[in-house]
Amino acid sequence: MARRVSTPWPTEPRTVFFDDVASRDTLSRAVADGRIRRLAPRLYSADLVSDPAEIVVANRWLILGHLLPGAVIVDRSAAQDGSVSGDCIFVATENGRKSIQLPGMEVRIRCGRPLTEPLEDPPWPHGLRMSSPARILVDNLAVTRGRSGRTPRTLSLAELEDWLAAKAITWGPERMSRLRDDATTLADVLGKVDQVDRIKRLFDQLTGDQPLRPTAGPLLQALTYGRAWDERRVEMFNRLAQGLTGYDDPDVPDWLPAGPEAEPLPFFESYFSNYIEGTVFTVPEARRIIDTQQPPPTRPADGHDILGTYRCVADTVGRRATADDVEGFLSHLRERHQMILAGRPEVGPGQWKQAPNQVGAYLFVDPPLVEGTLRQGFELSLSVPAGFRRALYIMIMVAEVHPFTDGNGRVARVMMNAELSAVDAARIIIPSVFRNEYIGCLRRTSTTQADDVAVLMRVMSFAWRWTAAMPWHDKGATGGQLEATNALRDPDDAAIGGIKLRLP
C-alpha cells in the first residue's frame, strides 16, 4: 500500500498558508513541482484551481491577522460588515504601512488603534478588531474622495444616511438612542467637536425632527415615507433575477388554453394549492364544497379557503391579469389575497400583516418593511424575461416576503400562474405527491445562494410539463391520469415507498 505523504500546509480547496510553515527550500521545491503556488509575498495556497482573488477574499481575516496583527476594520469596510468594496478593504494599525497589494484585494491602511472601554471596538476573527457602531458613524463623517476612480475610504453622506436607516430598521428606538449618545460621546473624546452637530442632524432627520436633504439616501427616504425595505431580501431577489435570466425556458408540450369545458383545472389548482398548505380534504369532499358553495360545518375555515382559492383561479379574466407598474402589482396581490381569504375576516384579507411571521426558525420580512420590499422586488422582476422564469421569480418573491398573516403560499402561486396565463402558457399545479420536492426547492432557494436556480428550474419545469400534459378538458381522462401519474398520493407515504410523480 502506498504511503500517504503528509504536508505541513493545508491542502483543502480555497485555503492559504504562510512561509513560516516550512523552510524556504521546501516551499520553493513545492512551487517548482506544481504542488503549491505563491499568491503574494509570504502567502501560498495548495489550491491550484480556484481564482487567486477568490482564495484571498475568502481568507481575508486570516491574512490580515497574520500580516497586520491587532488591526481594526474601519471606515467604509466596517460600515459594510467587512466586505471587500471595489477590491479594497480599509484597516487601521500603527505599523506604518500604507497599503498591501494582494490578488483581488488591496489593503488600504491608515494610522489608528483599537478603542478601549467604554466604547470598545469588538473582537473580530484572527485577533483583529471591528469598529464599534459609534466609531463607524464618527469615522465615516470624514469627507474623502476616491482619486483616479479608486473607492473612497469613507461612505458618502447618502450612503451613511442609509447605513443609519438600516440600523434603525433592525435595532429599534432604544438602541438607536444609545448609538446617538455613544457617537456624540466618542466625537467629544476624539476632539471632533464639529461632528457633534452633524451627528445630531442625522438623527433628527431619522426621527422626522428635521426635513430630509433633497439628495438623502434612498433607504432613509423610504423609511421616512413608510416604504423601507429588507436589504438582505432585496439582494437575494437581485441574485435570483440574475440566476433566472441566465437560463432558457424549458420546453413544454403544446398547451390547450383552459376554456369553460376545462373546469377540472381550476378545481384541482385550488385543491392541490390548499393541500400544500395543510388544508387536506378528499377529492369528493372538496368537490362537494365547490358544488354546493358551502364549507362543511365542522371545518368552516378550511372550506372557505377551498372556495376562495377556487373563485380566484376560476375567474378566466382576473386570473391572467398582470401589471407593468408597481402600483398595479400591489393592487393585484392584495385583491387576490382578499378573494382567497374572503371567508376568514379574522386574518385581514387583502391587508398587510401586522405581526411577524415565520416557518420554524425561518423569519420572513418584518411588517414595516413589507410594502417597500415588494416594491423593490417588483422592479427587479422586470429584468426577468416574461413567462416561465418571471413567474418563478414572482412566486419566490411573494413567498419570501410573506406579506399577509395567512394564505401567502396560495397567493404566491396564483401570482405565478397569472404571469403564465398572461402569455398564454400552461399554468403550474403542484400535485400532492410532489409537495416535498416543491417545498424543498423553495427552502433551497431561500437558504442558499439564490442565483443557483438549477434545482428550482428542474423541479418547477417538471411540474409545468405535468400540468401542460394533463387532459383537463376531459373529466374522465383527468381522473384516470391523476391516478396513473400518482398525483393524489400522500407525499410522505410516497417518499417511503419510492413513488414519484410521472408525466402523463
> 109: which strand partners?
91
| Alpha-carbon span 155 to 75, nearest angstrom | 7
Closest CA to 349 of 363, 364, 333: 333
Longest CA pairwise span in the chain (Å): 87
- Where are the domains positioned within the chain? 132-143+153-226, 231-497
- The residue length of the chain stands at 504
pLDDT of the residue at 254: 65
| Integer CA distances (angstroms), 476 to 19, 258, 263, 488, in order | 75, 16, 12, 15
Closest CA to 277 of 465, 468, 430: 430
pLDDT in tens, 17-51: 999 999 999 999 999 999 999 999 999 999 999 99
Give pTM, 2 decimals.
0.78
Give φ, ψ of 204 to 5 degrees: -65, -35
Cell readout for 330 is 400591489
Distance from CA of residue 443 to its chain's centroid?
11
Element holding 129 (H helix, E strand): strand 129-130
pLDDT of the residue at 261: 47
Closest CA to 159 of 257, 258, 86, 247: 86
What is the SS3 assignment for 272?
helix
Alpha helices in 315-453 (DSSP H): 326-340, 370-381, 388-401, 408-421, 435-447
Q: Who's near 392: CB < 8 A, 6+ residues apart?
A: 244, 416, 453, 456, 457, 460
What is the SS3 assignment for 101?
strand
pLDDT of the residue at 360: 87
Q: Who's near 15: CB < 8 A, 6+ residues apart?
A: 45, 46, 47, 55, 59
pLDDT of the residue at 492: 94
pLDDT of the residue at 95: 80
Closest CA to 313 of 417, 390, 395: 417
| Alpha-carbon span 467 to 481, nearest angstrom | 11
pLDDT of the residue at 129: 97
pLDDT of the residue at 257: 53
Cell numbers 410523480 correspond to 501
Contact call for residues 135 and 119 (beta carbons, < 8 A) = yes
pLDDT of the residue at 151: 92
Contact call for residues 409 and 399 (beta carbons, < 8 A) = yes
Which residues in the chain show pLDDT less than 50? 1-3, 258-261
In the sheet that 88-93 helps form, which strands lie side by side, from edge to edge?
Answer: 99-102, 105-111, 88-93, 72-73, 129-130
CATH class of 231-497: mainly alpha
What is the SS3 assignment for 358?
strand
pLDDT in tens, 309-343: 999 999 988 989 999 999 999 999 999 999 999 99
Q: What share of the chain is helix, strand, coil (3-state, %, to 5)?
A: 50, 5, 40
| Alpha-carbon span 16 to 229, nearest angstrom | 38
**Degrees to nearest 5, angle at CA 9 with 6 and 13:** 100
